[in-house]
Amino acid sequence: MPPQPNNRTRVRLLLVEDDPDHAWLLTDQLRMGGFDLKTLRVETAEAMRVALRDPWDAIIADNRLPNFSGMDALALYRETGLDIPFIVVSGTVGEERAAEFMKAGAHDFILKENTGRLIPALQRELRQAAHRRRERLSQARYQQIVETSSEGIYTVDESSRITFANQRLSEMLGRSNFELMGRSIFRFVRPQDRRLAAMTWRSPSPVDLCLQRRDGTDCWVMATVTPLLDDKGQRAGVLGMVRDISKRKLLESQLLAAEIEKKTFCCNLLNTVTRGKFHLVDELDMPRRGQLLLEVDLSHRESFSELRRAVYEMASAEGMEEERASDLVVAVGEAAGNAIKHGELGLARVRKDLDRLQIEVTDRGPGIRAEDLPASILQKGFSTKISLGMGYSLMLELVDQIWLASQPGGTTLQLEKGISSPPDPVLALLDRYD
């Protein structure tokens, strides 16, 4: 029983055949096989050339026509660039001739004595042609997405050689596609960033890198890579994507410069107002000097009394006057108390350097904002949740020198006091005129 109309496959079929009867037999057979056909029969090269201007789903060509052969018809088909089934139907012919047709681009070769194979052959070739069209469409859409992407996209092999680069990447680097292809991707990374780029080669985590344009200027990007696998599931390279973050980096550098300028102003102001007693520094510039005498964990409140007692005993043992030793203990207690209150994982270290004691208190708290420093240090009674509060004004009166390094995530405070009292500047001035 023939297939129902709703199951029939519509096919626009071009027949290259000089025998109307044979053409009718083929089309009748195809209709019985479930095809809903729209056909046109041609038998000359000129007629076929005109017919190929219209859309067709498949071509069936006889091998032998007067002054026109199946190979000629295949050549005309190839000239059009069409990708539709081209099936040759012929009488008795050798395997060598059939192989020639297949090598020339025919999709199948069927003998007239075996036309029963025509229906499954045409069904198969139509499915494959539809699949190729979908793949081309998908590839075209992908290519359009890649080429119009705002991100630079590239692929490299396992030797880091670029095998593909989209237009956006070329624009970012100011280089043509020809200049990029076949070259190592690391060649276009700023020299000081190449080690970082190599370390993140197999990491999916984004990383900020600085690329170099053709004119030598920098192009900051956020780079991510995804492994590319071969048919055996083995890594064959990576797919990389880079997003231009140059504007963000410029803004960050401007903000950093402004922060440095603000910190420098505060540093100079505080040093001047305190007559050189207060120093705002970076952590690496903290002047750690002398022999380490004691280290106290400030993670529990009992350590507060332990530290005060130990500092007093050390100061006294070194010959510090009782009043000066008491002042030092009060200052140390203020620093340690605030570290315990406002910070985490506090630690105190006591050092002796020649004729002075140095106490360092660190914590892992939120730090002190630069804009709060002048008030917190100079204004009595000033306090914020993220500053050490009123203790600074007191500590400035009790010790000889204070160094502070603070940032989000931690604060280091160093107090320094001489074993002996410093000479009175007024008396020293009078001595000069005696």
User: Which three-class secondary structure string do you get for 25-92?
Assistant: HHHHHHHHCCEEEEEEEECCHHHHHHHCCCCCCEEEEECEECCEEHHHHHHHHHHHCCCCCEEEEECC
State residue 162 phi and psi, 5-degree precision: -70, 125
Q: Report pLDDT for 383.
A: 47
Q: Report pLDDT for 388.
A: 40
> Shortest CA distance to 64 belongs to which of 18, 103, 110?
18
Overall average pLDDT of the 48-59 stretch: 92
Q: Report pLDDT for 91.
A: 76
Overall average pLDDT of the 354-368 stretch: 87
Which pair of structure tokens corresponds to residue 320?
A: 């510090």
Overall average pLDDT of the 17-34 stretch: 89
Overall average pLDDT of the 132-141 stretch: 78
Q: Report pLDDT for 92.
A: 67
Overall average pLDDT of the 294-300 stretch: 85
Q: How far apart are CA 410 and CA 286, in angstroms?
A: 14
Mean of pLDDT over the chain: 83
Confidence category of residue 375, pLDDT binned at 50, 70, 90: low
- Tokens 């729209």 appear where? 38
Taken in order of first residue, the domains within the chain and their CATH numbers are 5-142 (3.40.50.2300), 149-244 (3.30.450.20), 256-418 (3.30.565.10)
State residue 11 phi and psi, 5-degree precision: -140, 130
Which residues pair with residue 296 across a beta bridge?
A: 348
66 or 211, greater pLDDT: 211
Q: Report pLDDT for 120.
A: 92
Task: Compute the CA torsion angle 198, 203, 208, 213 (nearest 10 deg).
Answer: 50
Overall average pLDDT of the 380-393 stretch: 51
Is 0.85 topped by the overall pTM?
no
Overall average pLDDT of the 319-325 stretch: 90
pLDDT above 70: residue 84: yes
Residue ranges in 200-344 assigned as alpha helix (H): 246-273, 302-317, 322-342
Q: Please say whether the dihedral angle defined by the alpha carbons of residues 279, 281, 287 and 292, taken in this order, is positive or negative.
A: positive
* Residues written for the chain: 434
Overall average pLDDT of the 387-391 stretch: 49
Q: Report pLDDT for 387.
A: 39
Overall average pLDDT of the 197-209 stretch: 80
| Degrees, nearest 5: CA angle 130-135-237 | 155
Q: How far apart are CA 182 and CA 324, in angstroms?
A: 74
> Shortest CA distance to 349 belongs to which of 400, 301, 293?
293
pLDDT above 70: residue 205: yes
Q: Report pLDDT for 349.
A: 92
Q: How far apart are CA 379 and CA 183, in angstroms?
A: 62
